Amino acid sequence: MAEYAKEYTPASDRYASMTYRRSGASGLRLPAVSLGLWHNFGDLTPVEHMKDMLFTAFDNGITHFDLANNYGPEPGAAERHAGSILSRDFGRHRDELVISTKAGFEMWEGPYGDWGSRKYLLASLDQSLERLGLEYVDIFYHHRPDPETPLEETMGALAQAVSSGKALYVGLSNYDGPTLERATAILKELHCPFIICQNRYSIFDRTIERNGLKTAAAKLGKGIITYSPLAQGLLTDRYLDGIPDDSRIKVDGRFLQSDALTRQRLEQIRELNRLAGERGQTLAEMALAWILRDDSVTSVLIGASKPRQILDNIGALGNTAFSAEELAAIDRASLD
């Protein structure tokens, strides 16, 4: 692993090989691969390890770090750790970075710490900025639709975040197509720079193709940034020969349970791995490339736990072109 001086100096050629894509019709460009600071930035991860991941990412052109108020463990820890590193090591490079955060899931007890009310969203943003040690974030997301709060109230809170100078742009996460269209109309009327949607998307999870989100985002000129592109690690070579002792399934079963690895799923993974090999890629590289083949996708969020994984994932950019035959074979191998 690389040794870094006390004062971090990023690589001088950090922009040489990364691809940057415009987020929808906006002027903001994001790296094709972005780094999510989720459970890899909780209290259980050594700070020096977090620094190595951020330094590796930035040295290789990843300028976008994505957070949320509740990322940890414990909730708030990821923002706190990231803020400390950003302040100490990235102070001179703030204007080269895109920092995003979100609010929408439970963050504190009581009726004002969850969902999509104006009170919760604006209070949460203030708390996030304090933990991050920043005057503003580049993108502030509503993390999930709130079925009980009027959409006008939630969108109004996002617009207020921008007008107050605490966010430059806003985004929506986990919305579907029809709700996205309604939200876009409200934000347009409020002259709020809404530029991006964050949704789960992978070879194994095509929800945004079925619920209208992908089509609506393209029609409305909104970017898409995808999370869980490797299906919580299923779209890698880790499970080809069973469940390793250090796998996410055994170490932390909150997000990937053992029953996800059925015999059918394992057969699919092995076939996809074979197809990736024919392309000269690892399965993870092919899974990321499959998402990035589509110009409507701005970026993929990776959740690396090691610097080496960041470099491996960037390798997907070497070949994002697929033939019709390859796409059909991937569909046959992955769709139930």
Per-residue pLDDT of 3-55, as tens digits, reads 444 679 999 999 999 999 999 999 999 999 999 999 999 999 999 999 999 99
Determine, yes or no, domain membership for 254.
no
Domain contains 156 = yes
Is 332 within the bounds of a domain?
no
CATH of the domain at 26: 3.20.20.100
Are the C-beta atoms of residues 187 and 155 closer than 8 Å to each other?
Answer: yes
Q: Is the pLDDT of residue 260 over 80?
A: no
Query: Could you give the number of structural domains in the chain?
Result: 1
Q: Which residue has the tokens 């090591």?
A: 89
Phi, psi dihedrals of residue 280, rounded to the nearest 5°: 75, 25
Distance CA 138, CA 83 (A): 14
First to last CA, the chain: 41
Q: Does the residue 224 lie in any domain?
A: yes
Residue 121 lies in a domain: yes
pLDDT value at residue 164:
98
Q: From residue 207, how far is each of 26, 33, 176 by CA, in Å? A: 25, 21, 9
| 38 domain residue, yes or no | yes
Q: What percent of the chain has pLDDT over 70?
A: 94
Indicate if the alpha-carbon torsion angle 235, 238, 243, 249 is positive or negative: negative
- Taking only the tens place, the pLDDT of each residue in 166-209 is 999 999 999 999 999 999 999 999 999 999 999 999 999 999 99
Structural domain includes residue 255? no
Of 53, 55, 54, 64, which is closest to residue 19 (Cα–Cα)? 64
Model pTM? Answer: 0.94
Residue 11 in domain: no
Q: Which domain holds residue 99?
A: 20-232+291-317
260 near 245, Cβ under 8 Å?
Answer: no
**Cα dist from 146 to 120, 157, 173, 240, whole Å:** 12, 13, 11, 39
